[in-house]
Structures are given as C-alpha cells and as structure tokens.
C-alpha cells in the first residue's frame, strides 16, 4: 500500500452525474466506478471508462465478490472482474467486508458477517483466492450493518486491523458507515478511530445520510452532515489518506449540494 500514489478528491461515477463531473473537473482528481455496471455490457458502455481515464484516475469498486461467503468465491465472476480491472489498470481496487450471496441465494445487498475467528479465516481465505487471480492492490470497505450478529469476538476496529495485517490489504474507511453504525449500535466513533491502525487507511468514503424514527440509514442521497465532517477532521489530524471520495447515490438534482461537498473535500487537502 505504500506505493499507492496520492489521489486527492474523488466522486462516485453515476450516469446522472456525468455533466456535473466534467463541468467540475477542477475539483475532482479521481472517480470510482461500480464494477458490476461494466461487466457483461456492450462495448459502447466500456467506452465510458476510456473517456473517464482521459481526465481522471479510475478506481473500480466491486460489490458482488461476496468476500465473506462461507462457500468461497464465484470464480466465473472473479475472472470477469479481473478482465475489467486489467482493462482499467488502476493503482488499486476495492471491495467490501461483507457477503452478498450464500447457498444459491443472492441477497441483493451487502450483508454483515460476524466479527469472529471463523469469519476472519473465511474472509482471509477468500481474499487469498482473489489475490491469486487479480494482481492489483485491494482495499476493503467497512459497511453499514443493521444486524449485529451473535458470536462476535472482535470489536469492529480490531477486526479490521487484523484483517488488513493478515491479508496485506488496505482499508477503505467509509466515515458515513462508521458514523451510522456508531449511532445505531451506541459506540463512540472517535474511540473506533483511535483503535484503528491508521497506516492501513488508503481512501475514505463520505456522504450524507437520512434518519427514520429509530434508525439512521445510508441512503447516500443527502448533503454531508456536520457530524461526518467532524469525524473526517478528527481523522485528518492523525493521518492523511491517499484519497477522499464523495459517494452520492441519489437526489442528483441537488447539484449545489454535491459541488459544496466536493469543495469541502478539497479543503481537507
């Protein structure tokens, strides 16, 4: 992870944000593409990546490898992902500490794994399989979880530390996910950051959230709140990630909000 270049400020590439991204190139250094959007697609769709690469560093963000699956990795999907990553030739790529499918059931979203020895070993084995096929540095993202599974033997930060140490992977610290989990499950996000091995952090994700009566939800569709920015400030006093990325997934019509968030992100550097 030490050889990864400094990237700066990024934004998740969504078709709806194409114009905004190109009109605000001065505020954006890199873009993140959702890998599945470019697998098994017509060639015209892949040309989007070719165009993006002319202006930005492109980071592939995978969502379906299901690194936490007990039954292992889908090798056919892994090969398709490998082809895409090699086409992009990025400084690194990312996936999630979660699972999305098990025993023929596709959950359709990132589901949590229990933070214990069993799943630590499962995810390490799966990452070993992945690294044998994809020879680019991998960073791992912490997800929001709404189910705190029984059988936990590690706190969140400790699990991430050991996982990164044993796999050599970097960390994609999603500050918004961290904040949401801390509020929904009553732990101190600052203590989490203090417990984290900050040398593992390569990139951050940030964005706003929404609240229901009793939960905070990662809709990725709102302006970044002061609480999230405070956490980022706290982290930046301790370490400097290679990149910060705004991961906006909805309410794209609120362009001023999105641009504001990019300006704020630039101020961190």
Comparison of 5 and 72: residue with beta carbon closer to another protein? 72
Q: How far is the CB of 145 from another protein (least distance, A)?
A: 8
Comparison of 26 and 40: residue with beta carbon closer to another protein? 40
Comparison of 39 and 124: residue with beta carbon closer to another protein? 39
Q: How far is the CB of 117 from another protein (least distance, A)?
A: 14
Q: How far is the CB of 102 from another protein (least distance, A)?
A: 4
Comparison of 29 and 95: residue with beta carbon closer to another protein? 95
Comparison of 14 and 242: residue with beta carbon closer to another protein? 14
Q: How far is the CB of 143 from another protein (least distance, A)?
A: 12
Q: How far is the CB of 111 from another protein (least distance, A)?
A: 7
Q: How far is the CB of 261 from another protein (least distance, A)?
A: 21
Comparison of 47 and 188: residue with beta carbon closer to another protein? 47
Q: How far is the CB of 198 from another protein (least distance, A)?
A: 30
Where along the sequence are the contacts to another protein (CB under 8 A)?
36, 39-42, 44, 64, 69-70, 77, 80, 99, 101-103, 105-109, 111, 146-151, 215, 217, 250
CA nearest 65: which of 98, 39, 91, 93?
98
Comparison of 56 and 119: residue with beta carbon closer to another protein? 119
- The first and second tokens of residue 26, run together, are 């001065």
The C-alpha atoms of residue 167 and residue 176 are separated, in whole angstroms, by 24
Q: Do the strands 201-206 and 170-174 form a parallel or antiparallel pair, or are they unpaired?
A: parallel
């Amino acid at each position: 992870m030490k050889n990864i270049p400094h990237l700066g400020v990024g934004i998740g590439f969504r078709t709806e944000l194409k114009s905004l991204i190109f009109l605000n190139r001065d505020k954006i250094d890199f873009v993140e593409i959702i890998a599945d959007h470019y697998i098994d697609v017509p060639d015209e769709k892949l040309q989007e990546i070719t165009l993006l690469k002319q202006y930005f560093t492109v980071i592939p963000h995978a969502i379906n490898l299901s690194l936490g699956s007990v039954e292992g990795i889908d090798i056919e999907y892994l090969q398709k992902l490998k082809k895409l990553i090699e086409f992009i030739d990025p400084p690194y790529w990312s996936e999630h500490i979660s699972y999305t499918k098990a025993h023929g059931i596709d959950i359709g979203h990132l589901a949590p794994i229990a933070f214990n020895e069993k799943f630590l070993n499962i995810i390490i084995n799966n990452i070993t399989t992945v690294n044998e096929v994809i020879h680019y540095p991998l960073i791992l993202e912490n997800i929001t979880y709404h189910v705190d599974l029984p059988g936990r033997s590690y706190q969140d930060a400790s699990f991430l530390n050991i996982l990164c140490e044993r796999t050599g992977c970097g960390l994609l610290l999603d500050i918004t996910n961290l904040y949401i989990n801390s509020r929904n499950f009553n732990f101190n996000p600052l203590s989490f950051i203090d417990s984290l091995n900050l040398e593992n952090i390569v990139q951050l994700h940030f964005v706003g959230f929404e609240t229901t009566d009793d939960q905070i939800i990662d809709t990725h569709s709102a302006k970044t709140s002061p609480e999230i920015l405070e956490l980022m400030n706290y982290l930046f006093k301790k370490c400097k990630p290679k990149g910060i990325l705004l991961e906006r997934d909805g309410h794209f019509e609120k362009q001023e909000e999105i641009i504001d968030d990019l300006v704020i992100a630039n101020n961190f550097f």
